[in-house]
Amino acid sequence: MADDLWSYSPTCGHRSGMDLAGWSVMATDGFVGRVDEHSEEAGDAHLVLDAGAWIFGRLLIPASAVVRCEPEERTIRLGLSRGQVEDAPQHLTETDRADRQYREDVAAYFVAAARARRSATS
């Protein structure tokens, strides 16, 4: 994950203006859902993942979790396992994004997930 949680890594292949809605989202070990909506806003770039029946509800995924965008396949690859995605805080309503405590919980979760991934690959 990038140092800035809410920004795309410069090496992930994301280009400004890409419409990611409907793209498939893959964890390191399989499919996790589709992009419902996304933001490119500086300092607040993220995906809203619709995981369908696999995980009830939607998840807010910081842009730094994206390791690769594959426009030809309309696929986004995350640097997270399916289990890490499943355990992420749920995105219940539009007001969650503006709630400071919710954002802090999401940030803390994804920072810890990034640390765990770095430890596992070291």
Based on the number of CB atoms within 10 Å of its own CB, is 60 exposed (0-12), middle (13-18) or buried (19 or more)?
Answer: buried
34, 37, 66, 80, 101 from 27: Cα distances, Å: 11, 18, 9, 5, 26
Average pLDDT, the chain: 88
Residue 2's pLDDT is: 41
Average pLDDT in the 30-37 region?
A: 94
Q: How many independent structural domains does the chain possess?
A: 1
Domain of residue 47 covers 24-121
Of 107, 114, 27, 109, which is closest to residue 68 (Cα–Cα)?
27
Render pLDDT for 91-108 as a digit per residue (tens, 0 to 9).
767 777 778 888 889 999
Report if residue 81 sits inside a domain.
yes
Q: Tokens 């396949």 belong to which residue?
A: 73
- The separation between CA 105 and the C-alpha centre of its own chain, rounded to angstroms, equals 14
Residue type, 69: C
Q: Is residue 90 part of a domain?
A: yes
Q: How far apart are CA 42 and CA 21, in angstroms?
A: 18
Tokens of 56: 């009830």
Task: Let me know if residue 92 belongs to a domain.
Answer: yes
More confident residue, 115 or 26: 26
Do the domain assignments include residue 18? no
Q: What pLDDT, on the 0 to 100 scale, is given for residue 9?
A: 92
